[in-house]
């Protein structure tokens, strides 16, 4: 049968086109599905590889940590090298590997690792500090100082950086700069015993050098004898101190402060007559000096010359109104003159300015008893016992026998 052209309708054409198009679309969809499947498989494989590598890395790092902790540095090195094989150029691993090498005193190798890190990140956390330590270990002081200064410029520098910078500056002979860094370190960390020790050491060495220079210039100079007197007094070698002070005074009779220093040395040995003589001479140099008047007041109280003591102590109080010892001695003087109310006020002032001292509480307890205030007396005596116990415990801890 021959189809008439008029019967070759649009509907028949649509049916034929749809069938053919569907075949082609189905083929394209299947092809795309296959590609998608291959892609998904590759993604899973890649994820497994990366995940496995990350897992291996963490395992190796943990092994390195344990080996370091156990002191097996060779095993730790091998672990770090394996990590760097899995992930070449990992900054944290290079940093930690460098720290390990530094611990082993392999400063050159550690420097290379630290530099690799800084080449990619010049402010990577704490690496400039560790680089400075390695340079310091190599005695390359200029590079060490530069690295420490770069670390201190960071937002959060290593907490020991300033201390090590001070050590490097000290080793380079830059003592004033070292002292400045240590002063700042102690200001920021008052309990940094290492910094305090180094600070004392620098000052001590500077003092010894100055003494040697004085000796070289004039071994019998006024200055050298006065300085040696101070050193002996600091060491509580009072007879030696007095000898040096007296030689210094003989060389320069008009020198101020020497009579006072001799008076303190005699007072520390309970030689009150000699001490009073020297303090009296010192008072001629400076009649209103608080400490000279305080010592003379103390001696007068010891001798029970209470009216004389008040004369000295009231001068001392004007210059040092918050000195607890002045008020304690004033209280004793008023009590000695049978003025309990004034004595009470002075003992209360002594407690206010030094709450940790036990003696004022004991004396105040006696005053309250004299004033017939038994409750206050008992309270002050209990506080005296408590503080006395604390003082004994503190003294026991500081004893060289412990």
pLDDT in tens, 145-167: 999 999 999 999 999 999 999 99
Per-residue pLDDT, averaged over 316-326, amounts to 96
Closest by alpha carbon to 313, among 304, 303, 302, 328?
328
- Upper half-sphere CA count for residue 173 (Cβ side, 13 Å): 0
Q: CA-CA distance, 212 to 214, in Å (whole number)?
A: 5
Higher pLDDT, 1 or 104: 104
Report, in angstroms and rounded to the nearest whole number, the Rg of the chain calculated over CA atoms: 42
pLDDT one-digit tens code per residue, 257-279: 999 999 999 999 999 999 999 99
In which band, very low, low, confident or very high, does the pLDDT at 10 lie, cut at 50, 70 and 90? very low
H-assigned helices in 87-126: 91-103, 107-120
105: left (phi over 0), alpha (psi -120 to 50) or beta: left
Stretch among 77-81, 96-100, 170-174, 213-217 having the lowest mean pLDDT:
77-81
Per-residue pLDDT, averaged over 87-101, amounts to 85
For residues 261 and 242, the answer to whether their CB atoms sit within 8 Å is no
Q: CA-CA distance, 123 to 378, in Å (whole number)?
A: 65
Q: What is the mean pLDDT of the chain?
A: 86
What lies within 8 Å, CB to CB, of 117 at 6+ separation is 91, 94, 95, 98, 124, 127
| Residues of the chain above pLDDT 70, percent | 85
Looking at residue 92, its pLDDT comes to 87
For the chain, the straight-line distance linking the first and the last C-alpha, in angstroms and rounded, comes to 126
Stretch among 241-255, 301-315, 388-402 having the lowest mean pLDDT:
388-402
Q: Which two tokens stand for residue 363?
A: 């004396």
In which band, very low, low, confident or very high, does the pLDDT at 400 lie, cut at 50, 70 and 90? low
For residue 395, pLDDT beyond 50: yes
pLDDT one-digit tens code per residue, 12-22: 434 444 444 44
Per-residue pLDDT, averaged over 302-313, amounts to 97
In which band, very low, low, confident or very high, does the pLDDT at 84 lie, cut at 50, 70 and 90? confident
Stretch among 93-97, 175-179, 251-255 having the lowest mean pLDDT:
93-97
Q: What is the pTM of this model?
A: 0.62
pLDDT one-digit tens code per residue, 56-67: 777 777 777 777
Per-residue pLDDT, averaged over 180-189, amounts to 94
Per-residue pLDDT, averaged over 216-237, amounts to 94
For residue 36, pLDDT beyond 60: no
Highest mean pLDDT among 17-21, 187-191, 349-353: 349-353
Structural domains in the chain, sorted by start: 218-286 (1.25.40.10), 299-402 (1.25.40.10)
Taking the CA atoms of 173, 177, 178 and 179 in sequence, report the sign of the dihedral they define: positive
For residue 171, pLDDT beyond 90: yes
Highest mean pLDDT among 69-83, 112-126, 207-221, 327-341: 327-341
**How far, CA to CA in Å, does 271 sit from each of 116, 264, 302, 329?**
71, 10, 12, 19
Looking at residue 59, its pLDDT comes to 75
For residues 150 and 175, the answer to whether their CB atoms sit within 8 Å is no
Q: CA-CA distance, 125 to 311, in Å (whole number)?
A: 65
């Amino acid at each position: 049968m021959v189809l008439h052209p008029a019967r070759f309708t649009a509907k028949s054409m649509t049916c034929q086109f749809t069938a053919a198009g569907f075949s082609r679309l189905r083929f394209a969809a299947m092809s795309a599905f296959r590609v998608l499947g291959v892609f998904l498989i590759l993604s899973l494989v890649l994820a497994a590889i990366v995940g496995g590598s990350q897992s291996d890395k963490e395992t190796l790092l943990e092994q390195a940590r344990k080996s370091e902790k156990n002191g097996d540095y060779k095993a730790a090195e091998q672990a770090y090298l394996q990590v760097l094989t899995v992930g070449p150029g990992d900054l944290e691993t290079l940093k930690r590997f460098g720290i390990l090498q530094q611990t082993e005193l392999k400063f050159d190798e550690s420097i290379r690792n630290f530099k690799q890190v800084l080449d990619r990140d010049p402010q990577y956390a704490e690496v400039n500090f560790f680089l400075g330590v390695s340079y310091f270990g190599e005695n390359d002081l200029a590079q060490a100082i530069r690295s420490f200064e770069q670390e201190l410029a960071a937002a959060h520098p290593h907490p020991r950086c300033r201390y090590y910078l001070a050590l490097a500056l000290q080793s380079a002979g830059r003592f004033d700069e070292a002292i400045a860094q240590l002063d700042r370190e102690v200001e920021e960390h008052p309990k940094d015993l290492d910094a305090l020790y180094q600070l004392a050491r620098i000052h001590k060495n500077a003092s010894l050098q100055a003494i040697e220079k004085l000796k070289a210039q004039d071994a019998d100079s006024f200055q050298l004898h006065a300085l040696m007197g101070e050193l002996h007094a600091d060491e509580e070698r009072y007879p030696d101190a007095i000898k040096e002070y007296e030689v210094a005074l003989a060389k320069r009779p008009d020198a101020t402060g020497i009579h006072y220093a001799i008076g303190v040395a005699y007072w520390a040995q309970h030689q009150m007559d000699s001490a009073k003589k020297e303090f009296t001479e010192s008072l001629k140099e400076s009649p209103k000096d608080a400490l000279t008047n305080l010592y003379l007041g103390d001696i007068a109280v010891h001798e029970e010359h209470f009216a004389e003591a008040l004369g000295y102590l009231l001068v001392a109080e004007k210059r040092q109104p918050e000195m607890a010892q002045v008020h304690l001695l004033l209280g004793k003087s008023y009590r000695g003159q049978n003025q309990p109310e004034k004595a009470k006020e002075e003992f209360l002032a002594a407690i206010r300015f030094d709450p940790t001292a036990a003696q004022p509480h004991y004396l105040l307890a006696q005053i309250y008893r004299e004033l017939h205030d038994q409750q206050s007396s008992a309270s002050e005596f209990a506080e005296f016992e408590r503080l006395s116990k604390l003082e004994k415990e503190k003294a026991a801890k500081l004893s060289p026998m412990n």
